[in-house]
Structure 1
């Protein structure tokens, strides 16, 4: 065996867990941000309209994660960009929750939005668990984040005016159901993280 390739081989083996860890931390951050949005709706610190605005930001993050993972790995530059976006989203969640606007957590629209955001939390947790267990490859995570971005965008659109109708929620739930099936398929397709 040619010994000049051993350092390259070792470098590749040592960076694989770093990529997995990076993807896992990004998805964990998605779970955390979605949970904070849901909590803000439940406490009345966020209005439905504010939650919609925050979901638009989450959709942008999911799209960026998908773009970064499309080639199967996240570069340092891509990771830095995602971190900046996550940091801004975190600050925006904090600002919206403490801006003095009060939502009615018992309103029909808020309840609908709470249910939709809770579903995001659940879907992101399922993706995170798939990353941690090795059941999801980075390419699969990229596809799943594309789906999450679509769902989050739908939520942002329906909440833009501060009201979520039954028909609008039904459309969001349809997209969520589709995404749930894709998550299940990707996690059980026998592809594993190498």
Structure 2
């Protein structure tokens, strides 16, 4: 009789481990896709295939995706329905990146505005990569990842507002830098607070 409860406990532990592993995979996939899309925006700016205004519009869309991810993860797990909604939103962003990079409009990658936007998008790539790495190595829980994605959404919105007129000025750049610094500090704190993914 004592074998049955032990066997059941072992099966439950295996099932929970499988669920946790699937959650980690789903979250890692979503954050990796954020990295990839930011990289595509960066490539478009560097090649001149994207204007500052187009990149700003794309950052506004990525802010919505980041908020969706944050809302989905805030309870510690992502349901299949939430995952499907996030993937649909990421697909729309991906299609818009493709459309904007092939619409014939030419940006000037050497302009001060484009250079500022490129630096901001590169920092987005770096910060999303840090989040992805924290999810993969277990130093970030889903709730922590949710808070960090909410911070990334704030960064993306700040970038979108700054470039919506097609120009990012030095003062706007300083405001973006402050927002990025705050988000970066949050990533460091969450990754080093001793909590581990269960």
Structures share a fold, TM > 0.5? Answer: yes
Q: TM-score, normalized by length of structure 1?
A: 0.97
The corresponding residue for 2:36 is: 32
The corresponding residue for 1:183 is: 187
| Alignment counterpart, residue 95 of structure 2, candidates 91, 95, 105 | 91
Instruction: Describe how 1:42-61 pairs up with structure 2 within 5 A.
Output: 42-61=46-65
1:39 and 1:150 map into 2 onto residues whose CA distance is 22
1:2 and 1:71 map into 2 onto residues whose CA distance is 30
Q: State the superposition RMSD in angstroms.
A: 1.2
The corresponding residue for 1:68 is: 72
Q: TM-score, normalized by length of structure 2?
A: 0.95
1:19 and 1:89 map into 2 onto residues whose CA distance is 23
Instruction: Indicate whether 1:81 and 2:70 are aligned.
Output: no
**CA positional deviation for 1:40:** 0.3
Instruction: Indicate whether 1:168 and 2:192 are aligned.
Output: no
Instruction: Indicate whether 1:18 and 2:22 are aligned.
Output: yes
Q: Structure 2 unaligned runs (5+)?
A: none
1:77 and 1:48 map into 2 onto residues whose CA distance is 34
**Pair member with larger Rg:** 2
The corresponding residue for 1:135 is: 139
Q: Map Cα deviations across residues 74-106 of structure 1 (whole Å, 9 max, x no partner).
A: 000000000001111101000000000000000
